[in-house]
Amino acid sequence: MEYNFKQIETKWQELWKERKTYRVETDPSRPKFYVLDMFPYPSGAGLHVGHPLGYIASDIYSRYKRLCGYNVLHPMGYDAFGLPAEQYAIQTGQHPAVTTEQNISRYREQLDKIGFCYDWDREVRTCEPEYYKWTQWAFLKMYDHFYCNRSQKACPIKELVEAFAANGTEGLDVACTTPMTFTAEEWAEWNEEKREQVLQNYRLAYRADTMVNWCPQLGTVLANDEVKDGLSVRGGFPVEQKRMKQWSLRVTAYAQRMLDGLDSLEWSDSLKEIQRNWIGRSVGAQVFFDVKDSERKLEIFTTRPDTIFGVTFMVIAPEHEWVEELTTADNKAAVEEYIAQTKKRSERERIAETRRVSGVQTGSYAINPFTGKAIPIYVSDYVLAGYGTGAIMAVPAHDSRDYAFARHFGIEIIPVVEGGNIEVESYDAKSGKMINSGFLTGKDVTEAIPAMFEEVEKRGLGKKLINYRLRDAIFSRQRYWGEPFPVYYKGETAYPLPEDKLPLELPPIENFGPTEQGEPPLARVADWAYEGNQLELSTMPGFAGSSAYFLRYMDPRNSEALVSKEANEYWRNVDLYIGGIEHATGHLMYSRFWNMFLYDLGYVCESEPFKKLVNQGMIQGRSNFVYRIVGTNKFVSLGLKKDYETQEIHVDVNIVKNDQLDLDAFRAWRPEFKDAEFILEDGKYICGWAIEKMSKSMFNVVNPDNIVENYGADTLRMYEMFLGPLEQSKPWDTNGIDGVHKFLRKFWRLFYGKEGELALTTEEPTPAELKSLHKTIKKIREDIENFSFNTSISAFMICLNELGACHKRAILEPLTVLIAPFAPHIAEELWSAMGHEQTIFDAAYPVCDEKHLEESAFEYPVMVNGKLRFKQTYALDMTPADIQADIVTTEGAQKWLEGKAPKKIIVVKGKIINIVM
RNA sequence: GCGGAUAUGGUGUAAUUGGUAGCCACGUCAGACUUAGGAUCUGAUGCCGAGAGGCGUGGGGGUUCGAGUCCCUUUAUCCGCACCA
């Protein structure tokens, strides 16, 4: 009987569904294991072969863990709110809810065909009110909390209000947007509106006037991680900086905890490094410089206080709040002109012109506190308003940007560290002897830095300070297809909706674009109000819904809480999370923040949501080309194309097999190729190829459905794993898929005779067969634990090669279980054919019995002076000394050793590795 | 510019973690069985060389009895951040 994968796979997919084989419940009697995939955004294009890569890996691991006796939670859902559905809606007028629903059905259909073991009863969709109720709920909680730096956790805002009423800001150390100082008396005098304004400075979800990334084409603001190279990640539209009143999340409050938390996580070093960079902690000094003829003290941040003797000018950002004040009458026109110009330049232009030096003098001077010299204050856009204090002390001798600036404006350059060639370029010295630096002169840079920190504090010039690059997350989008904010307004003041009014449902609308006044689409909804007060018009960004979905899966139908205490204490956090690296600075930051916040409030019991994280590599496309002889409709095969002038044309990879073009399919592909002629080599047309991004326009998109159709889900699953290490990016290339398919067929044939009868025997296995089996068990277990799925599949193949035509049940039954995580359909079918009534996934995963691996004798390779000379078989009980004696007396060895005893015999782990003469 | 990763046959890759480099596949070649083969089975296949032998893990250097693996240096590719003070 042939291996009929189609019949087997359909049969088992239906039976699994019917029998709810993959249903999971909390079960305190068993250890839990939580395996999670990053849930997909259901786009209109459907899945391509790259998507399931991570899903297959997590599915293998889930099934393996289940077979090992764990209660495995392995859920799936959809990240269903977001821009693309809405952009599509604007173009076509179709409601995003409709297209999203369609896309989800298509995804589900595709996922089902691959045979995943998701518990679909736990499915979540971020766009459903029952789900986003908890997104809104978390937002309200953030709104109602502030971050106390002293206790390092979120605390209720009413504690802050009490503190303000008692002592004003005196003695507080809390996270805020801009530092404020006021007294209890002042607080008492303020009205509700003013107090609310002040509180926004402290709330973890707050509304503030900040510089934001504004994308005119998308008509919305974007978070930093949604912008790349000055363009929006979705759509690639230009983004500009604009000051707007927006909701933000105070993720910066958690910067240090998010940084520290990384150490305890089993994430790849590169991913941790990306997060560390994104948080961008830098230790430096805050230093106040006196401004000449003024009471003002200009505050700067520097990581190199040791170079302060080399400061010859100061620079403030064009957006710095003192620009006007510091500008003298003579310079007013020039400064205003410069600022106007800066404003006009887009973010993208600013990036493109990174090295262009520009700036203008304010006319004011600061006093270098160590040299006492008056130094000019400039305005330049190379200083960013958003980082540090928006002002710097410039040390042209030791900073390349300051150097360029000083050169351009003819400012004095004073070296303070020995070395480098100051005439030509700056010397960014991290060590070396200090010169021209008063009391620091003669010290090494490494000593000078701490000495200066001390001196700055001693003189009261400033203090040690830690700065983070991380920015608060801008949380509102001027869009329709997202979670509405549970917030209403009285005048300009925002008020939270009472919790029992959640979920605040997204109202249906018909026109999805912004209004003529440029307001978000929700402005069109006539009764978008709460008790007569206008509700917030913006909606939440895409990352809102994905920031706590892993918690919701634990208890997805709970209408009383995001997750019950019981479910949360059982499932705790995600043991294994698999997904793409592209979420390093977005989703993975936000969900850590979100989870830590809920942890502070006691709603969840683990502060880190994802214990172990594996990033699957990207699957690239492998494009195929045909070569048309210029000016003709004649195509020449790859090997012969050098003799002709040809034009390279992308050809649909689905009509190419092993780089060989299906000529009839090609003629049928497009009308223009109907009469195509070919110059063949060896009767074949061989296509060229290249690795490119998988995309429709390059005709290299491979749909998993086609593979499942032709080879079956088990082959697809195994082949995707066989392609190479999981974490590595690799091109999709079906050239090797036959090998995996052949392996499954071969496995199948071991069970069945020619007549389709079960051909298993009860014969006792030989020691060699047992050895092969147990070696494989050991290897497979190790490989799965290490996510080395490609080598585990090799191990299966080796095992079958070694076994040959073995039909013994005692060998094949454990092998079937062993292979079940990889190829669940065929394994389940064979398992059931062997007479088992329970699913194979309730069986126990085979355990290696080391006794079958033992050898009675083994071969030592013997090397003489680096060359392999002969092999000798020794009994296990011989010691290295016995072997040495043996080598010396053996005739063959004697010949090589020319009668001399070796100087040294190198034995590693009881094995002779080399003989030195 | 800073940070991270990768580099092995014609191709995807493997290597007990410092111990016979190239496992397992793809591809190619040869053979068997076949009316046929995009089925199945067997064998060969790193490169040079008729052979003995030599050379081989991006390049150069080092440590070691021994290096794909460790150290230094250099090149190429990919990724992240980027006037971040």
Using pLDDT thresholds of 50, 70 and 90, give the confidence band for residue A213. confident
Kindly report the three-state secondary structure assignment for every residue of A313-334.
EEEECCCCCCHHHHCCHHHHHH
Using pLDDT thresholds of 50, 70 and 90, give the confidence band for residue A640. confident
Residue nearest to nucleotide B65 (CA to C1'): A916
Using pLDDT thresholds of 50, 70 and 90, give the confidence band for residue A887. low
Separation of A865 CA and B62 C1' (Å)? 20
pLDDT higher at A878 or A496: A496
CA angle A531, A533, A538 (to 5 degrees): 120
pLDDT of A865 reads: 47
pLDDT higher at A491 or A688: A491
Cβ neighbours of residue A582 under 8 Å, at least 6 residues apart? none
Separation of A585 CA and B1 C1' (Å)? 22
Q: Shortest CA–C1' contact from A405: which nucleotide?
A: B83
A860-886 tens-digit pLDDT: 555 554 444 445 555 555 555 665 566
Contact A852, A773 (CB under 8 A): yes
Q: Shortest CA–C1' contact from A351: which nucleotide?
A: B83
Using pLDDT thresholds of 50, 70 and 90, give the confidence band for residue A230. confident
pLDDT of A692 reads: 73
pLDDT of A896 reads: 47
**What average pLDDT does chain A have?**
87
Tokens of A245: 């009143």
Contact A792, A745 (CB under 8 A): no
Q: Shortest CA–C1' contact from A743: which nucleotide?
A: B25
Cβ neighbours of residue A748 under 8 Å, at least 6 residues apart? A2, A3, A826, A830
pLDDT of A731 reads: 83
Separation of A764 CA and B31 C1' (Å)? 35
Side-chain half-sphere exposure of A176, counting CA atoms within 13 A: 16
A525-573 tens-digit pLDDT: 989 999 999 999 999 999 999 999 999 999 999 999 999 999 999 999 9
- Interatomic CA distance for residues A743 and A119, integer angstroms: 30
- Interatomic CA distance for residues A583 and A225, integer angstroms: 9
pLDDT of A242 reads: 78
Q: Shortest CA–C1' contact from A399: which nucleotide?
A: B85
* b (16+ CB within 10 A) / e for A622-641: bbbbbbbbeeeebbbbbeeb
Assess whether the previous peptide bond of A318 is cis (omega < 30° from 0): no
Tokens of A223: 């978070």
- Interatomic CA distance for residues A460 and A621, integer angstroms: 61
What percent of chain A stands above pLDDT 90?
51
pLDDT of A873 reads: 56
3-class DSSP state of A158: helix
Cβ neighbours of residue A481 under 8 Å, at least 6 residues apart? A81, A82, A83, A85, A86, A89, A96, A127, A506, A512, A539
Contact A291, A638 (CB under 8 A): no
pLDDT of A627 reads: 82
pLDDT of A549 reads: 97
Mean pLDDT of A67-90: 92
Q: Shortest CA–C1' contact from A467: which nucleotide?
A: B84
pLDDT of A868 reads: 45
Residue A635 has pLDDT above 70, yes or no: yes
pLDDT higher at A258 or A907: A258
**Is residue A36 exposed (0-12), middle (13-18) or buried (19+ Cβ within 10 Å)?**
buried
Residue A911 has pLDDT above 70, yes or no: no
Separation of A629 CA and B3 C1' (Å)? 47
pLDDT of A905 reads: 58
- Interatomic CA distance for residues A614 and A577, integer angstroms: 6
DSSP A802-825: HH-S--BHHHHHHHHHHHTTTSHH
Separation of A589 CA and B78 C1' (Å)? 24
Residue A894 has pLDDT above 60, yes or no: no
Contact A314, A376 (CB under 8 A): yes
Cβ neighbours of residue A463 under 8 Å, at least 6 residues apart? A285, A286, A456, A457
**Is residue A602 exposed (0-12), middle (13-18) or buried (19+ Cβ within 10 Å)?**
exposed
Separation of A714 CA and B44 C1' (Å)? 31
**Is residue A164 exposed (0-12), middle (13-18) or buried (19+ Cβ within 10 Å)?**
buried
Q: Shortest CA–C1' contact from A871: which nucleotide?
A: B20
The sign one gets for the Cα dihedral A854, A859, A860, A865 is negative
Residue A70 has pLDDT above 70, yes or no: yes
Separation of A668 CA and B57 C1' (Å)? 46
Mean pLDDT of A777-782: 93
Separation of A827 CA and B34 C1' (Å)? 32
A581-607 tens-digit pLDDT: 888 889 999 999 999 999 999 999 999
Strand (E) or helix (H) holding A240: strand A240-249
Closest residue by Cα to residue A315 from A236, A411, A225: A411
Contact A540, A478 (CB under 8 A): no
Residue A892 has pLDDT above 70, yes or no: no
pLDDT of A184 reads: 95
Identify residue A453 by its one-letter amino acid code.
F
Closest residue by Cα to residue A58 from A562, A580, A811, A547: A580
A419-471 tens-digit pLDDT: 777 777 788 777 788 888 889 898 888 888 888 989 999 988 888 888 898 98
Contact A78, A122 (CB under 8 A): no
A841-864 tens-digit pLDDT: 999 999 999 888 876 555 555 555
A261-305 tens-digit pLDDT: 998 899 988 888 889 989 999 888 999 999 988 888 999 999 999
pLDDT of A866 reads: 45
What percent of chain A stands above pLDDT 70?
91
Which of A577-581, A605-609, A714-718 is the least confident region? A577-581
pLDDT of A136 reads: 97
A787-802 tens-digit pLDDT: 999 999 999 999 999 8
pLDDT of A693 reads: 75
Residue A345 has pLDDT above 80, yes or no: no
Using pLDDT thresholds of 50, 70 and 90, give the confidence band for residue A379. very high
Phi, psi of A30 (to 5 degrees): -120, 150
Separation of A860 CA and B30 C1' (Å)? 35
Residue nearest to nucleotide B24 (CA to C1'): A794
pLDDT higher at A881 or A501: A501
Q: Shortest CA–C1' contact from A909: which nucleotide?
A: B19
Distances (CA, A) of A744 to A79, A560, A649, A703, A834: 35, 48, 36, 21, 17
Largest pairwise CA distance in chain A: 106
pLDDT of A321 reads: 85
**Where on strand B do bases come within 7 A of a protein Cβ?**
3-5, 11-15, 18-20, 23-28, 38-42, 65-66, 78-85
A15-55 tens-digit pLDDT: 999 999 999 999 999 999 999 999 999 988 788 888 899 99
Side-chain half-sphere exposure of A613, counting CA atoms within 13 A: 23
pLDDT of A857 reads: 54
Using only C-alpha atoms, chain A has a radius of gyration, in whole angstroms, of 34
- Interatomic CA distance for residues A504 and A483, integer angstroms: 8
A399-414 tens-digit pLDDT: 888 988 998 899 999 9
